[in-house]
Structure 1
Amino acid sequence: MPEAGPTVVLPGRPLTVGELLDSAVLLLRGHASVLLPFSAALAAGEQLVLLPLRTAVAAVPPLWWAPGLDGLAPYWLLLTVGAATEAMIILLVGNPAGRAAGGALLGHRATAGELWRPTGARWGATALLCVLVGTIMMLVSLPGPTWFVGFALLGAVAPALVVDRVTPARAIARSATLALRLDGRAGALRVLGYLVWWLIRVGLGWGLFTGLTTLGLIADGWAHAVAMLVWAAVNAVAYAALACLDAVIHLETRIRTEGLDIHLSRAPAARTPTDLLAVGG
């Protein structure tokens, strides 16, 4: 295990909330060449998927507000679909983020080639869980406040799959179990992280679009296209950061509740990282 220090992504001990946020940023910075392009491609695809719904409700940039109460029902559908696509993207980016975090805990900095390599990455299972998580998030978002519960409980699905190496059938249950430990600490931290990045996204997205509009840099008829580009760029960073936060919260929760740090300190050096981090390994 790596020595604890200010520049270590995961020092192998329980962390404060501030240290967890710092760890997520360090993890993203160390693997930006993989996580950001992947997240950007998915965020751009999300904008294209949501475009027909935004057009149907006549939503306008920069924040895609509905025009009035008459469009509230279809706009609510737009929000639930957006909640589902967000969760799906974070889960997909969480696959390489989780594997990178697992390597960081063991003192190994995974290369871009290792993170892109399909061997052992369990992309097929990730895709299946992505669809399931998206469906769950859309359903729990319909009533409104229950979104918080769904988002809190599903943060560790990708890390459980690729780090803990549990079966796809167990990944969601394990994610919920870890989220509820220590009085729901992991779940609460995930929601906190989302709210922090939501404020950052709104500030950057609205500010950038408004600035471009004020300076007259957006030609007539291009407002929607520019807004989509702005939101894709802002969301790409946020989604990658949230995936990294999920990964570090997951491993830190295992340290707090399962003695993962003790297990690693006593494990034979000859064992592979996959075996060391697997549940029961």
Structure 2
Amino acid sequence: MNDSPGWATPGSSPSDGERPGAPADQSGAGTTQPPVPPAQPAGDQKWSAQQPPPGQWSSPGTEAPRPTGQNAPHAPQGQGWGSYGQQYGQQPGGEPGAPYAGQYGPSGQYGHPGGPGQWGKPPAAKPGVIPLRPLGLGEILDGAVSTLRAHWRPVLSISLVIAAVFQLALVLVQRATVDTAAFSPGERATPSEALDAMGDAMLFYVFNYYVEILGLFLVTALLAPVVSSAVLGHSSTLSSTLRALRPMWGRMLGLTLVLFVGSVTAGVLPMLPGILAGEAALIALGVPVGLVLLAWFYVVFLLAPPALMLERGSVSDALKRSAKLVKGSWWRVCGISLLTGLITKVTAAIIVMPFAITAMFLVPGGMQGFLDGSATQSWNFLVIGAIGSIIAAAVTMPMQTGVTTLLYIDQRIRREALDLELARAAGVENYGATTAQPASGPVTGG
């Protein structure tokens, strides 16, 4: 990237030529050789036909023939080795020929640096909140929480302001809709009144859901520079974060608007025929289709906000980058995002609970008011609940948006060897400079 330290400009994968970080002179002198298996005779630098290379990532099934000669670490651009391509670092589901970042590791052994069972080799460099290698679920969650702890001032300041603005909008909409959603004790609602109440309640919950999506997209874009600094081990302040955001405000708001309109269209469009015809059956049929389309749209373009802020491209470039990075990893990205959302929902409920209990004693009518629905019309209830929701959102949104940004970094490490660029930006000396060498002979990239 041009003006954001630590990020490579989007473009060709390292498999297009020499691996980033490899020295210009690759004559093979001083290179680190992979360990010789115990059954291998001394002096023979080739693997036997029966002994697979250590640290392999092969999937169950029939192995493709192993390469001979120089044990080239990756296939030529656009060519794959089947299951054997995974053994030498090609990420499953990735583009053909795309290398697995750090495939030889700091000690020149196969597998990513610091992976489990890697013959006792040293762990990957970790200048900040994550190790510079492909990440596991626990490392992504831990990195998001560590970012919140280490940079809590800019993180909480930004998330608190966004949460307060959106919660104010929710309170106003809730106050406007609760009048038709509550009935006096003993009052029997007519079918039309009950239908109106259900419609208003559904409208509020749909509005609440889409406001939450809009807030997540916006906070993800705002906090992406903070997560970037945390990954590199750099300090981050509110003023420095705002300076980094200043030139991107227009594009950031434009991307947020595009994502919001797209998510609304994906969720509502399948129900539109039923809404226009006034047929409840058609609306019910469109609901599951809308949910599927919304989930697909959300996951495919989930990485667009960090792509925009860290690559400093256009809105369309960010959308294309997100779709490209998610391609082949949709279920993984969806699963991690869904699990993170579940964790944040439970955490938010725990935070809001004391405020809800307090509201029970301060609203008119007490517990009886909650039973007949009149308490929801009280400003005391709305204000106390809003305070609890603001605090909960200020704590949980940074975690979810941090996971999203780290997923973006993880996908680029897996697809584009971004770990080498991050290591150089973090000041890690000689990271990857002598590790991208084969067992004998230079790496030619083809």
TM-score (norm 1): 0.80
Cα gap change, 1:195/1:236 in structure 2, threshold over 3 Å: closer, same or farther? same
Larger helix proportion, structure 1 or 2?
Answer: 1
Between 1:29-38 and 1:114-123, the stretch displaced more is: 114-123
* Alpha-carbon distance change, 210 to 266 in structure 1, aligned in 2, over 3 angstroms: closer
Distance 2:219 2:304 in 1: 12
- Using the alignment, how far apart are the partners of 2:322 and 2:404 within structure 1? 10
Of residues 210, 215, 218 in structure 2, which corresponds to 1:84?
Answer: 210
What residue in structure 1 maps to residue 416 of structure 2? 258
- Residue 149 of structure 1, aligned match among 296, 317, 321: 296
| 1:17 corresponding residue in structure 2 | 137
Q: Compute the displacement of 1:161 (Å).
A: 0.5
CA–CA separation in structure 2 for the residues paired with 1:141 and 1:201:
25
Equivalent residue for 1:230, pick from 356, 365, 388 = 388
- Using the alignment, how far apart are the partners of 1:202 and 1:68 within structure 2? 29
What SS is found at the alignment partner of 2:321?
Answer: helix
| Superimposed CA distance per residue, residues 25-68 of structure 1 (whole angstroms, 9 cap, x where no aligned partner) | 111222221121221111111122123432343188xxxxxx96
Residue 311 of structure 2 aligns to a residue whose secondary structure is coil
Instruction: Please name the residue that 1:32 is paired with.
Output: 152
Greater C-alpha Rg: 2
Q: For residues 1-281 of structure 1, what are the structure 2 equivalents within 5 Å? A: 4=125, 8-58=128-178, 70-118=196-244, 121-142=247-268, 143=287, 145-146=291-292, 147-205=294-352, 207-213=353-359, 216=361, 218-220=362-364, 221=378, 222-265=380-423
Inter-partner Cα distance in structure 2 for 1:268 and 1:133? 32
The Cα of 1:118 is off from its aligned counterpart by 4.8
Gaps of 5+ in 2: 1-5, 7-122, 182-192, 269-286, 365-377, 428-446
Equivalent position amino acid for 1:161 in 2: L
Instruction: Quote how far apart the aligned CAs of 1:127 are.
Output: 0.9
Q: 1:230 to 1:174 in 2, by over 3 A?
A: same
Distance 1:244 1:267 in 2: 20
Deviates most, 12-21 or 119-128? 119-128
> C-alpha deviations, 1:168-201, integer Å up to 9, x for none?
1121232233233335322331222112212222
By how many angstroms is 1:110 displaced? 2.6
Question: Is 1:156–1:247's contact at 8 Å kept on the other side of the alignment?
Answer: yes
Q: Secondary structure at the match of 1:109?
A: coil
Distance 2:403 2:260 in 1: 19
Q: Which amino acid aligns with 2:308?
A: L
Distance 1:96 1:57, change over 3 A: closer
Shift in alpha-carbon separation, 1:141–1:163, aligned structure 2, 3 A: same
Are the counterparts in 1 of residues 132 and 423 from structure 2 also a CA contact under 8 Å? no
Deviation, 1:213, is: 3.8
SS in 1 for 2:233: coil
Query: Residue 14 of structure 1 contacts residue 252 of structure 1 at CA under 8 Å; is this kept in 2?
Result: yes
Kindly indicate whether the alpha-carbon contact (under 8 Å) linking 1:125 and 1:168 is maintained by their aligned counterparts in 2: yes
List runs of 5+ in structure 1 lacking aligned partners. Answer: 61-66, 270-281
Distance 1:121 1:194, change over 3 A: farther
For the 8 Å contact 1:95–1:121, the answer to whether it is kept is no
3-state secondary structure, aligned to 1:239:
helix
| Residue aligned with 1:110, SS | coil
Deviations 1:232-276 (A, max 9, x none): 11112111221111111110111112211134457897xxxxxxx
What letter corresponds to residue 77 of structure 1 in structure 2?
A: L
Over 3 Å counting, the alpha-carbon distance change for 1:57 and 1:126 in structure 2 is same
